[in-house]
Amino acid sequence: MDGLSEEDLEIPPAKYEYLDHTADVQLHAWGDTLEEAFEQCAMAMFGYMTDLGRVQITQVHHVEAEGHDLQSLLFHFLDELLFMFSAEPFIVSKRVKITEFDVQNFKIKATAYGEEFTIGKHTQEAEVKAITYSAMAIHDRPQLNQAEVFVIVDI
């Protein structure tokens, strides 16, 4: 080969690697009650994935979640909704209403109102890949009619 020496063709040993890097976003939601803060956190998650203004309510889905404390309850609640979005028929919810909120036994039943996600009709924003416990915080102040939650999600 013209202009190439043996040395030019010698491939040096690899001195690099690929390191996983996670990107996150923190959802912060609030309400007059803890129940409302959980609902708003679910809406924040869906709103991060697509423009909810384009979502119509044509389908109703029911989800249930349980945990061993409030943080695991919030985690599993959001995870159930994320699964609903991630598995066919890819339901995106415009509204989430908790129908049963049992904070003694850490159980939630909720109804999600929305439709099937359709590329072209719905915008593709960031993909939420997973819910995390990282820096999760739940503040319930019933005496002040204030509740807020913080959840970091992997995107």
pLDDT digits (tens, 9 = 90+) for 128-139: 999 999 999 999
Residue type, position 141, single letter: R
> Using an 8 Å Cβ cutoff, are 65 and 80 in contact?
yes
pTM of the full structure: 0.85
Q: What is the pLDDT of residue 155?
A: 86
**C-alpha to C-alpha distance for 103 and 149, rounded to whole angstroms:** 15
Q: Which listed CATH number (3.40.50.2300, 3.30.70.100, 3.55.10.10, 1.10.3720.10) goes with 15-154?
A: 3.55.10.10
- Residues of the chain with confidence (pLDDT) below 50: none
Q: Tell me the domain boundaries of the chain.
A: 15-154
Report the pLDDT value the prediction gives residue 13, as an integer from 0 to 100. 77
Give just the sign of the alpha carbon dihedral 128, 132, 136, 141.
positive
Q: Enumerate residues 6+ apart whose C-beta is below 8 A from 45.
A: 27, 78, 81, 82, 128, 151, 153
